[in-house]
Structure 1
C-alpha cells in the first residue's frame, strides 16, 4: 500500500492517543484522525520520545497547559495526507520541531526567535499517538525530510539536538579547550556526542 492509499484509510478513522488526565495518570484514548487543512500535515508517528519536560509535566502538570491534554512533543513520522499548499506529499518521511516562531513579534524581529511567546504557546502536543496533525506554522518553518539512512529513533531527536548545536555554536569551544559536562541526562549525552564529532 502506498502513502496515498494509506491516507485514505487512516484519516477520518479512529486512532489512539495518550492523554495526561491528571499528574501521574495517562489514558490511552480513541480519537478520529483529522484531515489536514491548508498548510497542514497529517503524519503517522513512527517514533515519539520522552524529555525532561514530559517527565515534569507527568509528575506535576505544567503552568502553561490545562489538563487533560494530549501528551508528547518529540517525534518523527511519515506523511499520510498533506493539506493544500504544502510541498510535502503522502509517503514522505519527516522530522519536525514541535514549535515555530511567529516571525513578527519584537523578539523575532530582533533575531531572538527562541524568546517568541507565540512559539511556546502553540507547541505541538500529542505525539504519543498513532497519528498527529502538524499545524501550518510548524510545517512551514520546522518540518524537514528525514534522510533515508537516518533511523526514525534518531530523527525524533531533532529538537533537543538542535538546542545542543545552537548552544555550542554560541559557546564556540576550541579543540585545545577542555569542556566539563555536568549531568548524565539526554542533553548532556548529546553535548558529549556533538563535542566528540567536532573533535
Structure 2
C-alpha cells in the first residue's frame, strides 16, 4: 500500500509499505480520508511525542476491509472511524481511572502507525461505526471527541458566558459544543475574517475580528463586549503564547481558563499570580481524549456540532507535502483532508 512515512522529523516520503494484516481482535480499515491537524505540523518538526519512523494521521474515516479472528459487531464495507488513543491499563493513572494521563499512552499517527495511508489496522475496541454519516462529517469525529473532553473539563453552567480564542476547526467545534452543553452565550475571536464567517454561519452567538489594532485594545473590546467584567469561561484554542497570556485578563472573577490549543513544547507564558489569586481564577488544561468517541458521534449525528464549510482543501496522498505547505502558509486554509485514493 501507499503511505506517508517519516524516517525522522522533516524527512518524509510517500512510498510503498506492506499492507497490514489484522491480527486477532483487530479490524483492517480502507481509509477514505484523513483530516490534517495542527498536531501533524508539530509531528513534522519532531514534537508532540512523535516516535519515528512514523506514518502520521489520526483523524480518519474509512470502511471495514477485513476482520481479524474473533471480531464481531462489524461487517465488511461498514463505514467506521478509529479512536487513535489507547492507555496501558496498568500504570498508576490508569488504575486510578484516569487513563488519559497514562504513563504509556499510545496513539495512532503519533507513536503508532497512523492513517495517512491506504489501509490501517486497529483493535476492534478502538473502531466505531459511523455508517450513514457523510464522510465529510465523520472525518471530524476525532477532533469532536477532543472537544467533547474539553467541554467536560469546563463544565459550563446554564448562565455562563464563554470566549474561544481561535476559530480554527477545533475552535469552532468547541464553541458549538459549549453552546449546546449549557453556555448561555459564546463568542469566538480570530484574526481571519473568513473563519469567523464560517463560525457565524454555524450559529456561534458572536464573532470578533482581532488584529485591527494592538492586542491590548482587542482585550479591552472583548471585555467590554462580555456584558460583565469578562467571561466565565475563556478557552485558548491556538497555542499561541501571546494569546494564552490574555486568557486570565479576559476571565471574569471566579472564571475558568482552559488551555486547549497545542503550543510548542518549549513555549513559555507570563501570568500575574496575584490576579489569579485575588480573583480566584481557575486554570485547566485539556489534552486529547480517550473515552469521548461515543459522545462525539452522537453530537455529529444530532447536528449539535455542524461541520458545513470547514473543509476548504483536499489533497491526494501523493500531494502530502503540498498540504504541509498549505496549512503552514496559505491564508485561505481552514481544514485540509487527505484522500489516499487521489
TM range (shorter): 0.7 to 0.9
Question: Match for 2:113 among 125, 128, 132?
Answer: 125
Would you say 1:29 and 2:15 are equivalent positions? Answer: yes
Provide the C-alpha distance between the structure 2 equivalents of 1:121 and 1:49, rounded to a whole number of angstroms: 15
Q: 1:193 maps to which residue?
A: 176
Would you say 1:157 and 2:140 are equivalent positions? Answer: yes
Q: 1:99 maps to which residue?
A: 85
Provide the C-alpha distance between the structure 2 equivalents of 1:152 and 1:45, rounded to a whole number of angstroms: 11
Question: Match for 1:173 among 152, 156, 172?
Answer: 156
Q: Does the 8 Å CA contact 2:3/2:116 hold for their aligned counterparts?
A: yes
Provide the C-alpha distance between the structure 2 equivalents of 1:182 and 1:63, rounded to a whole number of angstroms: 21
Q: Greater CA radius of gyration, 1 or 2?
A: 2
- 1:6-50 deviation digits (Å, cap 9, x = unpaired): xxxxxxxxx110112444443110123132110111110011011
Provide the C-alpha distance between the structure 1 equivalents of 2:103 and 2:169, rounded to a whole number of angstroms: 25
Q: Which runs of structure 2 are paired with 1:29-48 in the superposition (5 Å)?
A: 29-48=15-34
Provide the C-alpha distance between the structure 2 equivalents of 1:104 and 1:61, rounded to a whole number of angstroms: 27
**1:121–1:49 CA distance, 2 compared to 1 (3 A):** closer
SS in 1 for 2:17: strand
Corresponding pairs, count: 179
Q: 1:10 maps to which residue?
A: none
Could you say which structure has the greater relative contact order, defined with CA pairs below 8 angstroms and 6 or more residues apart?
1
Unmatched 5+ residue regions in structure 2?
183-342
Q: Does the 8 Å CA contact 1:39/1:84 hold for their aligned counterparts?
A: yes
Tell me how large the CA RMSD over aligned residues is. Answer: 2.1
Would you say 1:112 and 2:98 are equivalent positions? Answer: yes
Q: Give the alignment's TM-score, normalised by structure 1.
A: 0.80
Q: CA deviation at 1:105?
A: 2.3
Question: Match for 1:49 among 31, 35, 38?
Answer: 35
Q: CA deviation at 1:63?
A: 6.6
Would you say 1:143 and 2:131 are equivalent positions? Answer: no
